[in-house]
Amino acid sequence: MSAHVRTDHLANLMERAARIKETLQQGAKTPFKDVIDVSWGDPHRAGMKPLTFVRQVLAACLYPQLLDGDNFPVDVKRRAQKLLRCCDGASVGSYNIAGISEIVECIAEFISQRDGVPADPENIWIHPGSQMSLRTILTLLVSSEASPKRGVLVPVPGHSTTPLSVTALGGTLVPYFLDEERGWELRADELRRALASVQGACRPIALYVINPGNPTGHIQSRKSMEEVIRFVAENKLFLLADEVYQGSVYDSNSEFVSYKKLLHELGPPLAHTLELASFHSASKGLLGECGLRGGYVELVNMDPAVMPYVERRFHMATCPPVTGQIALELMAKPPQPGDPSYPLYMQETEHMRSTLVDNVKRVQQALKRLPAVSCQPVQGGAFAFPRLHLPLKAIHKAKEAGMQADMFYCTRLLEDTGVFVSPGCEYGQKEGTYHIRFCIMTPADTMEKLLRRLSAFHLQFMKDFS
The Cβ of residue 15 has, within 10 Å, a number of other Cβ atoms equal to: 10
Is 171 in contact with 224 (CB distance < 8 Å)?
Answer: no
Q: Rounded to the nearest 5°, which phi and psi values hold at 389?
A: -95, 85
Q: Which residues contact 259 (CB under 8 A, 6 or more apart)?
A: 209, 211, 225, 228, 229, 239, 241, 243, 276, 278
- The CA distance from 281 to 289, in Å, is 9
Bridge-based pairing state of the strands 295-300 and 383-384: unpaired
Start and end residues for every CATH 1.10.287.1970 domain found in the chain: 53-93
Question: What is the chain's Cα-based Rg?
Answer: 23
Q: Hey, what CATH class is 53-93 in?
A: mainly alpha
CATH top class, domain 8-48+348-465:
alpha beta
- pLDDT per residue rounded down to tens, the chain (466 residues): 443 444 567 888 999 999 999 999 998 888 899 999 999 989 998 899 999 999 999 999 999 999 998 889 999 999 999 999 999 899 999 887 778 999 999 999 999 999 999 999 999 999 898 888 899 999 999 988 888 999 999 999 998 889 999 999 999 999 999 999 999 999 999 999 999 999 999 999 999 999 999 999 999 999 999 999 999 999 999 999 999 999 999 988 999 999 999 999 999 999 999 999 999 999 887 889 999 999 999 999 999 988 888 888 887 777 889 999 999 999 999 999 999 999 999 999 999 999 999 999 999 999 999 999 999 999 999 999 999 999 999 999 999 999 999 999 999 999 999 999 999 999 999 999 999 999 999 999 999 999 999 999 999 999 999 8
pLDDT for 29: 87
Residues of the chain with CATH 3.40.640.10: 95-332
Q: Give span(s): CATH 3.90.1150.10, the chain.
A: 8-48+348-465
Residues in contact with 209: Cβ distance below 8 Å, sequence separation at least 6, in sequence order: 155, 186, 220, 228, 239, 240, 241, 242, 259
Which pLDDT score is estimated for 4? 47
Characterize 243-282 residue by residue with b for buried, 16 or more Cβ atoms within 10 angstroms of its Cβ, and e for exposed.
bbbbbbbbbeebebbbbbbbbbebeeebbeebbbbbbbbb
Please calculate the CA angle 263-114-125 and round it to the nearest 5 degrees: 80
The neighbouring-strand residues paired with 423 are 436
H or E, element range at 126: strand 124-127
Whether residue 146 contacts residue 135, with contact meaning beta carbons closer than 8 Å, is answered with: no
Phi, psi (deg, nearest 5) at residue 239: -95, 120
Q: Vertex 246, ends 362 and 354: CA angle to 5°?
A: 35
* Residue 148 burial (10 A CB sphere; 0-12, 13-18, 19+): exposed
Distance CA(209)–CA(226), nearest Å, equals: 13
Q: Which among 281, 245, 241, 237 has a CA at the least distance from the CA of 261? A: 241
What is the C-alpha separation between 72 and 94, in angstroms, rounded? 24
Note the pLDDT of residue 320: 87
On whether the CB atoms of residues 423 and 436 are closer than 8 A, the answer is: yes
Taking 3-state DSSP, the helix, strand and coil percentages for the chain, each rounded to the nearest 5, stand at 50, 15, 40
- H or E element, residue 354: helix 342-368
The pLDDT value given to residue 7: 55
User: 171 Cβ partners below 8 Å, 6+ apart?
Assistant: 138, 141, 142, 143, 149, 150, 151, 152, 205
* C-beta atoms surrounding 339 within 10 Å: 17
CA distance 249 to 170: 35
Domain 95-332 grouped into CATH 3.40.640.10 = yes
How far apart CA 183 and CA 217 sit, in angstroms, is: 9
Q: Are 120 and 390 in contact (CB under 8 A)?
A: no
Residue 77's contacts (CB-CB under 8 Å, 6 or more residues apart) are 60, 67
The SS3 assignment for 328 reads helix
